[in-house]
Amino acid sequence: MAVQVHYDQDCKMSITGVECNCGCEHRVIDKDIYIGRGLIERIPGYIQRRGLGTHCVLVADDNTYRVAGEQVEKTLKAAGFDVVPCVIHRENDMLPDDLSCGEVLLSITRETEFLIAVGSGTVTDTTRINAERTHLPFVSVGTAPSMDGYASAVAPLLHRGLKIQRPAVCPEIIVCDLDVLATAPMHMIASGVGDVLGKYIAKADWQLGQIINGEPCCPVCVEMVTNAVNALVDNVDEIAQKTEKGMRILIEALLLAGVTIMIIDNTRAVASIEHNIAQYWEMILVQRGIEPPMHGASVGVSTLLVWPLFERFAKEDLSKLDLDAIRAKRISREKRERWMLHAYGEEGGRQIMRENPGDFLTWEEQERRIRTAQERFEEIKAVIAAMPPLEKIKQVMMTLNAEMTPEEEEIPEDLLRCSMHCGKDYRTRYTLFKLMDECGLLEDYLADYPYPFE
Choose the binding region for Zn ion from 6-14, 116-124, 192-200, 357-365 (rule: CB under 5 A).
192-200
Choose the binding region for Zn ion from 18-26, 105-113, 116-124, 439-447 (rule: CB under 5 A).
18-26
Among 35, 47, 60, 218, binds Zn ion (CB under 5 A): 218
- Least Å distance between CB 139 and Zn ion? 22
Among 32, 195, 238, 438, binds Zn ion (CB under 5 A): 195
- Least Å distance between CB 194 and Zn ion? 9
- Least Å distance between CB 222 and Zn ion? 9
Whose Cβ is closer to Zn ion: residue 195's or residue 438's? 195
By CB under 5 A, the residues from 101 to 160 that bind Zn ion are 148
- Least Å distance between CB 365 and Zn ion? 26
- Least Å distance between CB 146 and Zn ion? 10
Whose Cβ is closer to Zn ion: residue 195's or residue 252's? 195
Among 7, 15, 20, 353, binds Zn ion (CB under 5 A): 20
Choose the binding region for Zn ion from 13-21, 341-349, 364-372, 377-385 (rule: CB under 5 A).
13-21
- The Cα–Cα gap between 71 and 75 comes to 6
Whose Cβ is closer to Zn ion: residue 73's or residue 195's? 195
How many amino acids of this chain bind Zn ion (CB under 5 A)? 7
Whose Cβ is closer to Zn ion: residue 35's or residue 202's? 202
Whose Cβ is closer to Zn ion: residue 22's or residue 154's? 22
Residues that bind Zn ion (CB under 5 A): 20, 22, 24, 148, 195, 218, 220
